[in-house]
Amino acid sequence: MKPRKVTVLGATGSIGESTLDLIGRTPERFEVVALTAGADADKLAELAIRHNARHATIADASKYSRLKDLLDGTDIEVSAGDDAVCQAAQMSSDWIMAAIVGAAGLKPTFSAATQGSCVALANKECLVSAGEVFLDAIKSAGATLLPVDSEHSAAFQAIDPSPASCIETITLTASGGPFREWTAEQLKDARPDQALIHPNWSMGQKITIDSATLMNKGLEIIEAFHLFPVQTDQLKILVHPQSIIHCLIQYCDGSVLSQLGSPDMRAPIAYSLAWPERMSAPVKRLDLAALGKLTFEEPDEKRFPSIRIAREAMNTGGTAPTVLNAANEIAVERFLAGQIGFMTIPKVVEATIEASISEIGIARASTLDEVLETDLAARRLAERFCGAYRIS
Amino acid sequence: MKPRKVTVLGATGSIGESTLDLIGRTPERFEVVALTAGADADKLAELAIRHNARHATIADASKYSRLKDLLDGTDIEVSAGDDAVCQAAQMSSDWIMAAIVGAAGLKPTFSAATQGSCVALANKECLVSAGEVFLDAIKSAGATLLPVDSEHSAAFQAIDPSPASCIETITLTASGGPFREWTAEQLKDARPDQALIHPNWSMGQKITIDSATLMNKGLEIIEAFHLFPVQTDQLKILVHPQSIIHCLIQYCDGSVLSQLGSPDMRAPIAYSLAWPERMSAPVKRLDLAALGKLTFEEPDEKRFPSIRIAREAMNTGGTAPTVLNAANEIAVERFLAGQIGFMTIPKVVEATIEASISEIGIARASTLDEVLETDLAARRLAERFCGAYRIS
């Protein structure tokens, strides 16, 4: 079998590293075309050498010479800057991992889509902020979109070939985050260090805070709406603290199909890497007898209003989800910087969406540039609200 | 769409009735060719009239005139006797439910297989007693086998299109039966009325006792071995008292696919009826938040030796599973009649298998007749052991 040509956008992040870990276990099956990173030249150089990449690209142009020095004497081609990242995404490849976190991942992931091969999507923003535009890009390029989020990969795996009309509901599970059992009163004083302790998953900071507010699940509901043939009211959230069941597909005959597993991102990454087959992955095997029990509860939208806010943005449509995502990024940044309180995060998001509807408009975007304009305007608005709600 | 022509073998039993209940909810989608029953002429007549069947066949020839009288004045053709049941199974049909319990179902189900259409298999014995021979019959007729047992239907639904080599294990869940928490001492005195109270499923007497001994799971492991592309050591049993998760497929990448649902046989029956699509079924929808938790434990093969005995019979191969099944049927009958104790059931089965190996031989059968001969000889041996272990 010919090795699969792969590119990893966001190689030095948590998903990128896991992807390369899997690739490195059967290097004969893969040929690494390009690796990109934001600013960590040292780690990028190390990964590029270890995986014998043809290209290494760093978004932060000021790190160019550092990267160039580190890769001196190798055959690895070096480039730098945001445009270079997009060029790396467009290099001929069979499979591209799109794992650049946040709105920064939008342009490179769109570039990857134009390529027409498999796009393993770990960046949430393409679907949340730019859903319709991104799906149009995927479709017109004839690309295949493989979700990498554990819940969406789970749904992708569990949906069977029966007609879409047979699906009654899709339920994404949520761990409930570190504050699942906190009272509303306690939540007001929740600190960043407390929010960063995720009970099950080891992930980046931004997404860990999103897990604590449950905005993560709100964003995933929006993603699922774009990925799967269901309407918004068919998408449900279930709190399941052990994060073993990742998704549940309820069919019209009473059957439920589901994907389960130990909380380890290498499982959905491996699935996307080997799709439509499967490959071995060093993921701890599920042992339900050893676990003893799995528990479930309804999400509490009073303590965690982000779910409701995200659902409303999804129902409002247009660029409301773009605004939601932008405002949330800003609010999370400010919370991590100790400038606003934990419960102020959803407050900023909601206020920004309301203000956007009246001030900048939320009509459906038809290009990525329109999405980016809305994103930028929403960020400015969100900054304003963060200032207003700032902890003095 | 042309209505699907369906036949139900064992129409008056628990599975047969559930099947007809589903068919009766969208009668325009189905055309009932034939209904058969063992001895309950009144119920058969009622069902044949209600579902507008073309044929009604009763195995017990002495009930012929009763059935004939009840269906007098209708267009329904009446027949009686074991051969007539096989003839009914061979009538041209798109889909046949094989729901005759026990060894009595072997010949009619083989007749159904020769037809070449879809055989929805609720009879365990075809696979347990006559596995290889039955699969040969299905294959040479080009028929499609659809398992109806909840666990096997679950596996059938949850196995994805990736290569069979990607499956690491298939785990069938077991409720653990009414005696899950009984001590070995208590089990010795377990009475039929206690064994007949199944915690989750409403089923026939024989299968309910099999659930209490866990022989049911032993038989299902043998079925699964024939139905799915795995070796015996890849088949696992997990005790799960709530019977919500029915089967778990562990893949090589750490992912587990599963089918779940409320314990209601109409879900797997509906799946087989509509396959490869799905149809609406009035099955209570799964509400995990309302259930709160699912629990799991390893099966205790000391208190429930049937699992070990069945596994050994499967590994021995040849007609050892035929003997296992025959001996178990006899032992369960005698237990229900109050003639042997609960813990004597596995004792009789194990003794019969051991004696068969030395007395009648367990070479692989190549025809149904050879299977039936072994079955008969095993029954005689089992009777002998039941006599020896009889409660005085």
- Would you call A258 an interface residue with chain B, using a CB distance cutoff of 8 Å? yes
Distance CA A20, CA A16 (A): 6
Tokens matching residue B48? 């044949």
- Judge: B278–A252 Cβ closer than 8 Å, yes or no: yes
Distance CA B90, CA B113 (A): 8
In chain A, which among 156-175 make CB contacts under 8 A with chain B?
A: 157-158, 160-163, 166, 168
The domain ranges of chain A are 4-147, 152-184+198-262+284-291, 317-389
A71-80 per-position pLDDT tens digit: 999 999 999 9
Dihedral, CA of residue B351, residue B352, residue B357 and residue B362, to nearest 10: -150
**Fold of the domain spanning A4-147:** Rossmann fold (3.40.50)
**Closest chain A residue by Cα to residue B281:** A253
In chain A, which among 321-340 make CB contacts under 8 A with chain B?
A: none
CB contacts of B293 in chain A (<8 Å) are 293-296
Work out the minimum CA distance from A376 to partner chain B, whole angstroms: 39
pLDDT surpasses 90 at B391: no
Give me the interface pTM, i.e. the ipTM.
0.94
What's B1's DSSP letter? -
B307-349 per-position pLDDT tens digit: 999 999 999 999 999 999 999 999 999 999 999 999 999 999 9
- Would you call B250 an interface residue with chain A, using a CB distance cutoff of 8 Å? yes
pLDDT surpasses 70 at A113: yes
Q: Does the CA dihedral A272-A274-A277-A279 come out positive or negative?
A: negative
- Would you call A253 an interface residue with chain B, using a CB distance cutoff of 8 Å? yes
pLDDT surpasses 80 at B202: no
CB contacts of A164 in chain B (<8 Å) are none
- Would you call B1 an interface residue with chain A, using a CB distance cutoff of 8 Å? no
Tokens matching residue B338? 């109050």
Q: Which residue type sits at B319? A: T
Closest CA to B353 of B378, B332, B334, B331: B378
Interface probe for A, chosen from B288, B298, B301 (most Cβ of A below 10 Å), is: B288
Q: How many residues does chain B have?
A: 392
Nearest to A296 among B161, B289, B296 (CB): B289
In this prediction, residues B215-226 reach a mean pLDDT of 96
Nearest to B279 among A253, A280, A284 (CB): A253
Distance CA A198, CA A218 (A): 17
Q: How confident is the model at residue A197 (pLDDT cuts 50, 70, 90)?
A: confident
CB contacts of A265 in chain B (<8 Å) are none
- Would you call B270 an interface residue with chain A, using a CB distance cutoff of 8 Å? yes
| pLDDT score, position B58 | 98
- The H helix count followed by the E strand count for chain B is 17, 12
Comparing A139-153, A287-301, B112-126, B314-328, the range with the smallest average pLDDT is B112-126
Assess contact for B242 and B200: CB atoms under 8 A. yes
**Closest chain A residue by Cα to residue B292:** A296
pLDDT surpasses 90 at B305: yes
Distance CA B246, CA B374 (A): 32
Assess contact for B341 and B188: CB atoms under 8 A. yes
Residue B287: which residues within 8 A CB-CB, separation 6 or more? none
pLDDT surpasses 90 at A371: yes
Work out the minimum CA distance from B170 to partner chain A, whole angstroms: 12
pLDDT surpasses 90 at A125: no
Burial classification of residue B39, based on how many CB atoms lie within 10 Å of its CB (0-12 exposed, 13-18 middle, 19 or more buried): middle
Q: Which helix (H) or strand (E) holds B5?
A: strand B4-9
User: At B176, is the secondary structure helix, strand, or coil?
Assistant: coil
- Judge: B267–A255 Cβ closer than 8 Å, yes or no: yes
Return the number of other C-beta atoms located less than 10 Å from residue A276's C-beta.
11
High-pLDDT (> 70) share of chain B, %? 98
- Would you call A292 an interface residue with chain B, using a CB distance cutoff of 8 Å? yes
Distance CA A248, CA B260 (A): 9
Q: How confident is the model at residue B181 (pLDDT cuts 50, 70, 90)?
A: very high
Q: How many beta-carbon pairs below 8 A join chains A and B?
A: 156
**Closest chain B residue by Cα to residue A256:** B260
CB contacts of B281 in chain A (<8 Å) are 252-254
B2-56 per-position pLDDT tens digit: 899 999 999 999 899 999 999 999 999 999 999 999 999 999 999 999 999 999 9
In this prediction, residues A98-125 reach a mean pLDDT of 91
A1-38 per-position pLDDT tens digit: 789 999 999 999 989 999 999 999 999 999 999 999 99
| pLDDT score, position B102 | 79
What A200-206 contacts at long range (C-beta under 8 Å, 24+ apart), as own/partner pairs, is A200/A175, A200/A241, A200/A242, A200/A243, A200/A263, A201/A150, A201/A175, A201/A243, A201/A263, A201/A265, A202/A14, A203/A14, A203/A265, A204/A13, A204/A14, A204/A101, A205/A336, A206/A101, A206/A102, A206/A329, A206/A332
- Would you call A354 an interface residue with chain B, using a CB distance cutoff of 8 Å? no
| pLDDT score, position B1 | 74
- Judge: B254–A284 Cβ closer than 8 Å, yes or no: yes
Q: Annotate B306-334 with b (16+ C-beta within 10 A) or e (fewer).
A: bbbbbbebbebebbbbbbbbbbbbbbbbb
Beta bridge partners of B335: none
Tokens matching residue A176? 């409930």
- Would you call A26 an interface residue with chain B, using a CB distance cutoff of 8 Å? no
- Cα-based distances in Å from A209 to A204, A349, B295: 9, 14, 30
pLDDT surpasses 80 at A251: yes
Closest CA to A148 of A19, A262, A29: A19
- Judge: B295–A293 Cβ closer than 8 Å, yes or no: yes
Chain mean pLDDT for chain B: 95
Work out the minimum CA distance from B258 to partner chain A, whole angstroms: 5
Distance CA B222, CA B230 (A): 11
| pLDDT score, position B201 | 63
What's A75's DSSP letter? S
- Cα-based distances in Å from B283 to A155, A255, A368, B149: 22, 9, 45, 16
- Judge: A285–B160 Cβ closer than 8 Å, yes or no: no
Nearest to A157 among B255, B279, B284 (CB): B255
B273-293 per-position pLDDT tens digit: 999 999 999 999 999 999 999
| pLDDT score, position A196 | 87
Please report how the helices A368-388 and A344-359 are oriented relative to each other, as an axis angle in degrees rounded to 10.
130
A136-150 per-position pLDDT tens digit: 999 999 999 999 999
- Would you call A13 an interface residue with chain B, using a CB distance cutoff of 8 Å? no
CB contacts of A259 in chain B (<8 Å) are 255-258
Comparing A279-283, A314-318, B202-206, B207-211, the range with the smallest average pLDDT is B202-206
Burial classification of residue B84, based on how many CB atoms lie within 10 Å of its CB (0-12 exposed, 13-18 middle, 19 or more buried): buried
CB contacts of A160 in chain B (<8 Å) are 157
- Please tell me which residue, A125 or B385, carries the higher pLDDT value: B385
- Judge: B293–A296 Cβ closer than 8 Å, yes or no: yes
Please report how the helices A344-359 and A306-316 are oriented relative to each other, as an axis angle in degrees rounded to 10.
20
B54-102 per-position pLDDT tens digit: 999 999 999 999 999 999 999 999 999 999 999 999 999 999 999 998 7
Statement: B317-389 belongs to CATH 2.70.98.10: no
- Judge: A254–B266 Cβ closer than 8 Å, yes or no: yes
In chain A, which among 182-211 make CB contacts under 8 A with chain B?
A: none
Assess contact for A11 and A32: CB atoms under 8 A. no
